Amino acid sequence: MALDGMTPRDESDLAEAIRSTEGGLSVSGGGTRGGRGTGANLSVRAMRGVRLYEPGAMTLVAAAGTPLSEIETVLASEGQRLAFEPMDHRVLLGTQGDPTLGGVYSTNTSGPRRIQAGAMRDFALGVRFVDGMGNIVQNGGRVMKNVTGYDLVKMLAGSRGTLGVVTEVALKVQPAPETLCTLSISVADPVEGVRALSAALGSPFDVTGAAFANGLAHVRVEGFENSVAYRAGQLKDRLSGFGEITLSSDPSLWADIRDLRMFSNVDGDVWKISVKPSDGPVVMARLPGDAVLDWGGGLVWACVPTGTDVATALQGLAGHATCVRGNGGAMGEQDSAVRSLIDGLKAKFDPRGILNPGVTS
């Protein structure tokens, strides 16, 4: 037991802790996301370690408390990586700790490559968790194609620990590419920027990143060297009408976009807004402050003056928004029928309401 709460050593320890608790539990992984719900802290960080890794099957199974850095090191030793490129929140939030597998799974955290490879949840093959009654549950498995029973692996990804405490996740991983090339196109405005990104994403050239920041539209291709050279050349020809293009093989540009380094020393609320890509420039035009577009324009990262009424600004647009730095909360998408289904699931999986009280599922 740590001084500030519970740190179960394994799954049965955790199940026992949940069964015997009477008050609420605030579940955490590496704690890099800052804020937490009310209740005693329950950290999964003592449950850690890679339990299985088969490079030839592109699968890795690890305990929920395993730091992502540890997983990435193991993968790199075999020339592989996590495809979904999760954001490291420490850069933006100034927090401490190590991001964990359980944390990125429970928040379905995905970075720039989401637009091509898929979200974190698309790479989660199996999960083990302990529900709010202390039952140990397994779903999915460690194989890439599995339709045996309901897909609770997807259902729990992004549920922020409100339906169960995740103890283990099985992942599909990806070969790391030999090289990358980023085309940076100097465009007239965000509308032109998103047009350039759409042209790139609608091409056959397998674009793995499409972002807009500071007047530049960035397009990334990755793979074997001659393939990258070929595709970068083709894209350069196609996109030359949008503005002057420079090429770079520096990966740090994408880490900076992923982690929002440009907002780390700027005051204000930071919102994550997901819309149809062509609506990205519309959102930018309606909000004060600065913004970066990712996912071809569909993900707007907006840094706005503290307390800005983002909800009103976004009226009439389909999508959703979450305040990741500041006290803006979240908005969009859940009508009352959807809300009552989610409340129904919460009542089934955590009837006492002890898991992450105060956190919206």
Q: Pick out residues in 190-219 that bind another protein (CB under 8 A).
A: 195, 198, 201-204
> Is residue 155 part of the contact set for another protein (CB under 8 A)?
yes
Give yes or no for residue 139 binding another protein (CB under 8 A): yes
Binder of another protein out of 95, 146, 248, 264 (CB under 8 A): 146
Nearer to another protein, 2 or 57 (CB): 57
**Least gap, CB of 3 to another protein (angstroms):** 32
**Whole-number Å distance between alpha carbons of 15 and 134:** 4
67 versus 326: smaller Cβ distance to another protein = 326
Q: Residue from 45, 48, 113, 114 that binds another protein (CB under 8 A)?
A: 114
Q: Does 159 bind another protein (CB under 8 A)?
A: yes
Pick between residue 5 and residue 233 the one whose CB is nearest to another protein.
233
Q: CB under 8 A: which stretch of 57-65, 211-219, 239-247, 304-312 binds another protein?
A: 57-65
Distance, CA of 150 to CA of 152 (rounded, Å): 6
User: Nearer Cβ to another protein, position 259 or 279?
Assistant: 279
Which amino acid is present at 313? A
Binding segment for another protein among 41-49, 131-139, 246-254, 285-293 (CB under 8 A)? 131-139
The rounded distance, in Å, linking the Cα atoms of 28 and 196 is 40
User: Does position 5 bind another protein by CB under 8 A?
Assistant: no
185 binds another protein (CB under 8 A): no
Q: How far is the CB of 55 from another protein (least distance, A)?
A: 5
Q: Per rule CB under 8 A, is residue 302 in the interface with another protein?
A: no
DSSP 249-318: --THHHHHHHHTGGGTTS-SEEEEEEE-GGGHHHHHHHSSSEEEEEGGGTEEEEEE-TT--HHHHTTT--
| Residues within window 327-356 making contact with another protein, judged by CB under 8 A | 330, 332-335, 337-338, 341-342, 344-345, 348-349
Provide φ and ψ at 276, rounded to 5°. Answer: -60, 135
Using CB under 8 A as the binding criterion, the count of chain residues that bind another protein stands at 88
Gyration radius (Cα) of the chain, Å = 21
Q: Which of residues 226-285 bind another protein (CB under 8 A)?
A: 226-227, 230, 234, 274-279
CB-based burial, 239-274: b 16+ in 10 Å, e otherwise = beebbebeeeeeeebbbbbbbbebbbeeebbbbbbb
Closer to another protein by CB, 67 or 280: give it: 280
Distance (Å, whole) CA 298 – CA 311: 17
Burial class (CB in 10 A: 0-12, 13-18, 19+), 1: exposed
Residue from the set 40, 46, 136, 191 that interacts with another protein by CB under 8 A: 136
Query: Shortest gap between Cβ of 258 and another protein (angstroms)?
Result: 15
Between CA 194 and CA 197 the distance in angstroms is 5
Window 68 to 107, contacts with another protein (CB under 8 A): 78-79, 107
Helix orientation angle between 190-201 and 225-239, rounded to the nearest 10 degrees: 130
Residues 97 and 81: beta-carbon distance below 8 Å: no
Token pair recorded at residue 125: 């093959």
- Residue of 45, 90, 160, 220 interacting with another protein (CB under 8 A): 160
Nearer to another protein, 79 or 288 (CB): 79
Applying CB under 8 A, among 141, 215, 243, 357 the residue interacting with another protein is: 141
Amino acid found at 178: E
Of 45 and 272, which has the nearer Cβ to another protein?
272
Residues 26 to 45 in contact with another protein, rule: CB under 8 A? none
Structure-derived torsion over alpha carbons of residues 42, 46, 47, 48, reported in degrees to the nearest 10: 140
Query: CB–CB of 244/186 below 8 Å?
Result: yes
- CB closer to another protein, 28 vs 80: 80
- Is 135 a residue that touches another protein (CB under 8 A)? yes
Residue 332, sorted as left (phi over 0), alpha (psi -120 to 50) or beta, turns out to be left
